[in-house]
Amino acid sequence: MTSATFETLLFDTNDDGIATITINRPDKLNALNSKVLSELSEAIKTAESDRDVKAVILTGSGEKAFVAGADIKELSSLNREQGEELAARGQSIFSAIENCGKPVIAVVNGYALGGGAELAMACHVRIATSNALFGLPEVSLGLIPGYGGTQRLPQLVGKSKAMEMILTGGQLKADEALRFGLVNLVAESGEAMDEAHKMAGKMVKNGPVAISKAIAAVNASSKTDGFAREAMLFGELCTTEDFKEGTTAFLEKRKPSFKGE
């Protein structure tokens, strides 16, 4: 059984072939820095290539957050090329999750903001704890979602609700997320992992080849070419004063004052 070692992730596989990947930066609410992204990419490859792994559960460490977004400290110094490049890199890692031939279930145990919501949306199924909060607050930082959120959110909740969420940067509670189809199930904190194992258990009883083809077929229903445009626009925003102000204000723990420049 695989039990790979990472700096920012925990990776364990149980006897039923269900691997659990836990993003483990609880002091930063599991924010996605470059190290987490690389290790996540590695962990998914490991799970996909290990014949003993039949399904993956992805969650965040601690009680408070699944993932509170991309690491704003790293974002704050990006120029246009770096912004576009990082968005494209994150998109490709999240696409690898979406296209993984084994079911990937997100257990969203608290904040799923920005890149965290985008990561949850790249998974095949989402189980939320009752305290989970979903949101794409990027516009409050002078940015837009850059890890596929502008593409996947409308597919999951419809264009109208997606526009509202992305343009207000507001948050959805777990029960609202369930109502809008953003999550499959809501469970109490102590029960969400059990629910995920139960669901994964039903999936892994089925033919592995059929499971992988089913994932590919369902994914084919929502192919869009909007991802490149999202990454390009994200890069453009990295050149703006509003982006500098938004990210600096977060790091200085104050409200931003946007000038529209």
Catalytic site positions: 118, 138
Closest distance to ligand CO8 from the beta carbon of 199 (Å): 27
Residue tagged 């992988």 (tokens): 212
Q: How far apart are CA 215 and CA 123, in angstroms?
A: 11
Q: Does residue 30 sit in helix, strand or coil?
A: coil
According to DSSP, the residues that pair with 104 across neighbouring strands are 56
Q: Are strands 104-108 and 125-129 parallel, antiparallel or unpaired?
A: parallel
Q: Which among 1, 104, 2 has a CA at the least distance from the CA of 46?
A: 2
Q: Is 235 in the site for ligand CO8 (CB under 6 A)?
A: no
Q: How far apart are CA 133 and CA 128, in angstroms?
A: 9
Per-residue contact string for residues 205-234; x = within reach of ligand CO8 by CB under 6 A:
-----------------------------x
The smaller minimum CB distance to ligand CO8, of residues 103 and 135, is found at 135
Q: Is 148 in the site for ligand CO8 (CB under 6 A)?
A: no
Q: Is 132 in the site for ligand CO8 (CB under 6 A)?
A: no
The smaller minimum CB distance to ligand CO8, of residues 90 and 154, is found at 90
3-state helix, strand, coil in the chain (%, to 5): 50, 15, 30
Closest distance to ligand CO8 from the beta carbon of 29 (Å): 4
Q: Using the 8-state DSSP alphabet, how is residue 253 labeled?
A: T
Report the residue from 45, 73, 205, 229 that binds ligand CO8 according to the rule CB under 6 A. 73
The smaller minimum CB distance to ligand CO8, of residues 82 and 212, is found at 82
Q: Does residue 17 sit in helix, strand or coil?
A: coil
Q: Is 60 in the site for ligand CO8 (CB under 6 A)?
A: no
The smaller minimum CB distance to ligand CO8, of residues 103 and 137, is found at 137
Report the residue from 36, 44, 46, 69 that binds ligand CO8 according to the rule CB under 6 A. 69
Q: Enumerate residues 26-55 that contact ligand CO8 by CB under 6 A.
A: 28-29, 31
Residue with CB nearest ligand CO8? 114
Structure tokens at 177: 């997320």
Report the residue from 87, 125, 128, 215 that binds ligand CO8 according to the rule CB under 6 A. 87
Q: How far apart are CA 92 and CA 207, in angstroms?
A: 27
Report the residue from 21, 57, 58, 68 that binds ligand CO8 according to the rule CB under 6 A. 68
Q: Is 256 in the site for ligand CO8 (CB under 6 A)?
A: no
Cβ count near 81 (within 10 Å): 11
Structure tokens at 127: 């189980």
Q: How far apart are CA 148 and CA 145, in angstroms?
A: 7
Q: Using the 8-state DSSP alphabet, how is residue 238 labeled?
A: T
Closest distance to ligand CO8 from the beta carbon of 79 (Å): 12
Binding site for ligand CO8 (CB under 6 A): 28-29, 31, 68-73, 75, 83, 86-87, 90, 111, 113-115, 137-138, 141, 143, 145-147, 234
